[in-house]
Amino acid sequence: MDNESPWALGLDIGGTKIVGGLVNARGELATVHGKPIIIRYEYDGMTEGSSRAQELLVRIGQELLAVPTVSQAQISAVGIGVAGTVDFTQGRVVIDSANVPGMEEIDFPTLCIEQFGVPGYADNDVNCAAYAEAHFGAGRGCNPVFCATLGAGVGGGLIVAGQVYRGFFGSAMEIGHTVVNYQGGPCPCGGTGHLEKWFATAAIEKRLAQAIQQHPNCLIGQYSAIVQRPRVEALFAAVRDNDPVAQSILDDLLEMLAAALGTVSSLLVPEVVVIGGGIAQAGEVLFAPLRAKLPKYIAYPSGAYLPAIVPAALGPEATLIGAGALALAERGKAKSS
C-alpha cells in the first residue's frame, strides 16, 4: 500500500445507509489483507433524520482514521457524496432529497474541519459516482461521460474534460426530472410528467402490485410471493422467463428511460453513457432492449452518432470513491492557487 501520497475519507450518505472508505487520487481504496476497508451503517434517513446522519458520518470517519494502513498524517481531505441538490462551493445541501430530510442543516466543510482537521467537500452523490466512473471506471478515456443511476430515483451526472458539470447551481443533470410525458401528471418533485414518476423503485413496485392483482397467475406474482412483496428483481426474473405481463411493463419502463436518455444524448452528445445503481444490476435483460430503443429518440437517428450504453464498473462504492478522489483534486487546486 502507498505510504506517501495523500488519501481522503470518502463518504456516501444515502437514504438507507452511510458508507465510508479511504480513497487515493487514483481512485483506489485502502485495504487490509488485500480487502478494501469499507465501513457501513444502515439507517433510515426518513425517520432518523440528518442529525443521526451527521453522527454516523463522524463515527465512520473516526473508525477509518483508526485504520493502521494509512497514517492519519496522509489524510488531507474529506469527500462527501450526498443525495439532494448540493451547492458545491458552500459544501451544503440546498434542496433536500426526498429520502433524507433536514440535510440542509449540515455545514459539511465546518464539520470536517472540526471533526477531522482537514477540508471537506460535499457534492451530489451521483456527481461523485459519475466522477469515479469517468476517471477510474466504465467511462475512463471517454469525454464527455454521462452517468445515470437507476434506483430509488434516477440520478444523473456529467463529466466534461474530467470535471463535474454542475450548472448554475448544483442541480444539473437530473435526468429523473426530465419530461417523458407532458400529460403524465405530477412527479413527486412537484414538476409534471418526469421520468421519476414512473421509473423509481417505489413507483415500479406499486405498478407490479397492481399487475399482480390484475393477473394473479403472472410470474411476477409467483416470484414476488417468495419475498412477500413485489420487488424489481421479480420483474426481471419474470421477463427472463418470458412472462408477457412482465415483458410489457419492462418494455414501457425502458421506452421512457430511452426517451430521456435520447434527449440527454442529443443535447450533450456524450461519448459514453454509463448506467449504474441497483436496478442496473439486472444486466443485459435491461441493457439490450434499452440499446435497441435508444436510436429512435436520438437527433438524426440515421446519422453516425450513437453513444455507447455501458454498465457501471465500480459497483456500490462508486459514490464514495468519487467523493474522495474529487476532494483530493479540489484540495490540490486549493494548495496550488
Residues that bind Zn ion (CB under 5 A): 177, 187, 189, 191, 194
The candidate with the shortest Cα–Cα distance to 15, out of 93, 90, 77, is 93
User: In the structure grid, which three cell numbers stand for residue 24, read together?
Assistant: 487515493
**Interior angle at CA 218, CA 212 and CA 221, nearest 5:** 50
Which lies closer to Zn ion via its Cβ, residue 197 or residue 331? 197
- Which lies closer to Zn ion via its Cβ, residue 94 or residue 189? 189
DSSP per position, 197-266: GTSSHHHHHHHHHHHHHH-TTSHHHHHHHHHTS--HHHHHHHHHTT-HHHHHHHHHHHHHHHHHHHHHHH
Cell numbers 412477500: residue = 228
CB nearer Zn ion, residue 11 or residue 187? 187
**Cα separation, 52 vs 46, whole angstroms:** 11
The sign of the torsion formed by the CA atoms of 119, 124, 130, 132 equals positive
Please give the order of strands across the beta sheet that includes 39-42: 39-42, 17-24, 7-13, 75-82, 120-124
DSSP type of residue 300? S
- Residues 176-185 as b/e (b if ≥16 CB within 10 A, e otherwise) read bbbbbeeeee
Question: CB 88 → Zn ion: shortest distance, Å?
Answer: 22
* Shortest distance in whole angstroms from residue 189 CB to Zn ion: 3
Nearer to Zn ion, 162 or 186 (CB): 186
**Shortest distance, position 202 Cβ to Zn ion, whole Å:** 14
Q: How far apart are CA 87 and CA 336, in angstroms?
A: 23
CA nearest 175: which of 242, 261, 115?
261
- Min dist CB 171 to Zn ion, Å, is 11
Closer to Zn ion by Cβ: residue 198 or 297 = 198
Residues facing 21 on adjacent strands: 10
| Burial tier of 108 (Cβ tally within 10 Å: 0-12, 13-18, 19+) | buried
CB of 230 to Zn ion, least distance (A): 23
- 67 or 203: CB nearest Zn ion: 203
Closest distance to Zn ion from the beta carbon of 124 (Å)? 15
Q: Which is nearer to Zn ion, 167 or 283 (CB)?
A: 167
- Shortest distance (Å) from residue 65 CB to Zn ion: 39
Min dist CB 97 to Zn ion, Å, is: 12
Q: Given the complex with Zn ion, which of 74 and 201 has the nearer CB atom? A: 201
